[in-house]
Structure 1
Amino acid sequence: MIRLPLFHYAPIGIDIGSKSIKMVQFSKDYATIQEAASFDFPEPIAAEQDFDAYLAQLKQTLQRARVGRNFRGHDAIFCIHQRDLFLHNIRVNKNESKALANIVQQEAADRIPYSMLDAEIRFVESAELRQGEQTLREVIIMACFRPRLEALLELFEETGFRPISVDVEPMAILRAFTKQYRREADEQDRVLYVHVGYSNTAVIIAEGTQVLFIKYLNVGGRHFDEAVCRQLDMTMDDAVNLRRHSADRRRSQQTPEVERSVLNAMRDELERLHQELAMCIRYHSVTFRGRPLVRIVLSGGEATETLRAELERTTTIETELGDPLRLYDAPQVLGRHGQWDIAVGLAARQLGGKEA
């Protein structure tokens, strides 16, 4: 009998962003990055305005993504974008006899913006907290519109992928960084993860791998670009290039006057981000008492040294630039490492970690 070799490849993590797709695949032993690539959409199309046109563009980009690349196999894990994710926090009596899943269904029925028949619902149990004489448990409800999810699954199959799992962005972000924990103390630390993307900012507060808080903020790279365009009276393309090149240069190569002008032009949007983060930090300190936030991990496509310094200055919390690739052999030039956090977290899902 002739035995053919059995090939097995790690799944491809696919992060579908607002203006690009990022894909990461580990080697079989998860020690190195097999392949990583980013692909911009031909033109930005808002899925909520024209979902069919968005699907057509997504299909075109996914088909292009594998041409000439070193991705292997068909298994893929993708995540639900923020625009398709409904988030809501509830508090449940710890001694409640009714099954938590039933309580979640009842709470979701009153709040989600579509029929329960069309809803895909998951939940994450957060920490216990005291409210008067009661001991309550915070629960984070997550839901998405099933017909839209099914359309995405069908599209992935049409483009040659085999979806084996669906995740949400906050869980992928958390997994990307908690996989780096090596000390027992890391499991006790409370950390504020700030993922600043193009269209929004995802905020996750966690104690080790346990999620305490999730919120999306309506501020991101697009708002920074628009502010620079407006304040410096230049075209949007020029504003994008100026901000990108200024942030990506090494400190020794940066022009202080240009950097200061860009930062001042973004000041109102940065202040809005700082105010939103301050409310998240206050919510944590009031709700989850006992341990302070020990650090902020900044990631996403907008994670730069300038923004890191701004967050540390305004929050007075030690802030680091998150590097989701730190543990892995990644010989390629991948630009800002922080932009790969979601794709890395998706690709690492089968290694374990928090799941929705």
Structure 2
Amino acid sequence: MLKGLLKPKTTKMIGIDIGSSAVKAVLFSKSNNGFKVENIASFPLKRGYVVDNAITDLQGVGEVIKKVKKKFAKSGAEHASAAVSGSGVIIKTIYMNAVRNDEELESQIEIEAENLIPYPLDEVSLDFEVIRENAVNSEKVDVLLVAARTELVQARAQALEFGKLQAKVIDVEGYALGRAYKLIEHQLSEDEQSKPVALVDVGASMLTVAVVHKKETVFIKEQAFGGEQYTQSIVAYYGMDNYEAEQAKLNGELPRNYVFEVLAPFQTALTQQIKRILQMYSSANDNNQVGKIILSGGCTNIEGLDVAINEEIGISCVLAQPFLHCEVRKSIDFDQLNKEASQYMMASGLALRNFK
């Protein structure tokens, strides 16, 4: 009768990636071998609901999240995590005097934040985490400071509430992507695991790179570049409207010469963006080179993108397979899941916050 009464209950939390073209969601549970995929979903967003990483139609996004809630209804999940990104998010590593408690550290952080953040403090949401003892001065500690415009954070939380879910965590997209590293570790050899790995997520409007070294996210960079540029090239080249261009792109109905006229220039532009970001990482880290690129995001449905990046940058690049070693609920088509898996890295990283 009392069996399990005193065991801690784990709150089920859905990871929800709110992009500019779709909402993607993942729910994990713990299994004997790691994680089990309980449910997964992707629903398109109308154009203009999310612009420059900001939600411009809360109710519209909320209605789409309601579809997620309905699809996940049998799980009983009431909580969700989402993430912010873009210029309204500021990440700094600062060096602080070691103190005895979080309250004292928080007071110091607020003083430092006033000098580091170009917004009034009453307009931002702050969080921090002590990373390690400072390598140069043992009396100091390295502290990760993250600040985001409160309006961005509140918009994510309100969109989840419109969708009948409670916001448990509002994360930063780069760190959510880095957290998903534990799901793709199986794709790396022992030698590759010892080197920095670049997780590269190419969305509709945002390119996000998270470099992970020794299982720690050590570098994050975002660039306003993504599949939307590819779509607009199709619109301009072939006189289509946005809907026609998207459908032609997804269904493979583009003219025969599109590879040379549209696809190749887009791939070149994308690889140059990635190359510059990786050079920035290398320059800031004693020329330490990335040993592997793991590619994810909505643009991974462009055939041959991983090969193009590999050839242009000269670093081995593969598509992310985050669910390959997970257990999967029987109602989910395993083959279809792994065919689309690389598009769910961000949502997966958000869902993993439930087990942190």
- TM bucket, shorter chain: 0.7 to 0.9
What is the aligned residue count? 335
Cα distance, 1:317 vs structure 2: 0.5
Deviations 1:187-207 (Å, cap 9, x if unpaired)?
Answer: 532011110001110011120
2:294 match: 297
d(CA) in 2 for partners of 1:290 and 1:125?
A: 26
Other-structure match for 1:12: 14
Return the letter of the residue paired with 1:115. P
What amino acid sits opposite 1:210 in the alignment? E
> What is the deviation of 1:36?
0.7
Which position in structure 2 is the counterpart of 1:175? 179
Aligned partners of 1:85, 1:340: CA distance in 2, in Å? Answer: 24
Q: Structure 1 residues 2-11 or 207-216, which shifts more?
A: 2-11
Distance 1:137 1:31, change over 3 A: closer
1:120 to 125, 133, 139: 125
TM-score by length of 1: 0.78
Change (3 A) 1:68 1:326: closer
CA contact (8 A) 2:53 2:85 kept: no
Q: How does 1:210-229 map to 2 (within 5 A)?
A: 210-229=216-235
The answer as to 2:201 corresponding to 1:195 is yes
Deviation at 1:27, TM superposition (A): 3.5
Shift in Å at residue 127 of structure 1? 9.6
Find the counterpart in structure 1 of residue 280 from structure 2.
Answer: 283
Q: Given the alignment of the two structures, is residue 230 of structure 1 paired with residue 236 of structure 2, yes or no?
A: yes
Distance (whole Å) between structure 2 residues aligned to residue 191 and residue 148 of structure 1: 29
Counterpart residue number, 2:102: none
SS in 2 for 1:203: strand
2:267 paired residue number: 270
> Counterparts of 2:342 and 2:53 in 1: how far apart (Å)?
29
Q: Which residue of 2 aligns with 1:252?
A: none
Mapping for residues 119-198 of structure 1, pairs under 5 Å: 119-123=124-128, 141-157=145-161, 159-181=163-185, 187-198=193-204
Q: Structure 1 residues 24, 50: CA separation in 2 closer, same or farther (over 3 Å shift)?
A: closer
After TM superposition, give the deviation of residue 28 of structure 1 in Å. Answer: 4.8
Aligned residues of 1:47 and 1:54 also touching (Cα < 8 A) = no
Distance 1:60 1:277 in 2: 34
- 1:323 aligned to 2:321? yes
SS state at 1:27 partner: strand
Question: Which letter does structure 1 place at the counterpart of 2:314?
Answer: T
Displacement of 1:57? 0.8
Offset from partner CA, 1:38-88 (integer Å, 9 cap, x none): 12224432457995x511112222223233545522343322232474134
2:76 to 73, 77, 91: 73
Deviations 1:116-158 (A, max 9, x none): 0221123567899999xxxx99876432122442354345345
Within 5 A, what are the aligned runs for 1:331-342? 331-332=332-333, 333-334=336-337, 336-342=340-346
Q: Distance in 2 between matches of 1:138 and 1:269?
A: 39
Residues in 1 aligned to 2:54 and 2:311: alpha-carbon distance in whole angstroms: 41
Q: List gaps (5 residues or longer) in structure 2.
A: 100-104
Q: Secondary structure at the match of 1:293?
A: coil
Q: Distance in 1 between matches of 2:116 and 2:86?
A: 16
Output the CA distance in 1 between the equivalents of 2:81 and 2:53: 22
* Matched-pair contact (CA < 8 Å) for 1:296–1:319: yes
Q: Does 1:209 align with 2:212?
A: no
TM value normalised by structure 2: 0.78
Counterpart residue number, 1:82: 85
Tell me which moved more, 209-218 or 60-69: 60-69
**Does structure 2 conserve the Cα–Cα contact (< 8 Å) formed by 1:33 and 1:328?**
yes
Which residue identity lines up with residue 241 of structure 2 in the other structure?
A: T
Instruction: Provide the rounded CA distance (Å) in 1 between the counterparts of 2:223 and 2:25.
Output: 24
Determine the C-alpha separation between the residues in 2 that align with 1:239 and 1:176: 31
8 A Cα contact 1:311 1:319, kept in partner: yes
Task: Tell me the CA shift for residue 283 of structure 1.
Answer: 2.0
SS at match of 2:324: coil
Letter in 1 for 2:319: L
1:62 aligns with 2:68: no
Q: Partner letter of residue 311 of structure 2?
A: R
Deviations 1:153-184 (A, max 9, x none): 34534543233222221122122222443676
**Change beyond 3 A, Cα 1:152–1:295:** closer
Go from structure 1 to structure 2 and tell me whether the alpha carbon gap of 1:140 and 1:66 turns closer, same or farther (over 3 Å shift).
Answer: same
2: CA distance, partners of 1:85 / 1:159? 24
Task: State the distance in 1 between where 2:307 and 2:133 align.
Answer: 33
Is the Cα contact below 8 Å between 2:28 and 2:38 reproduced in 1? yes
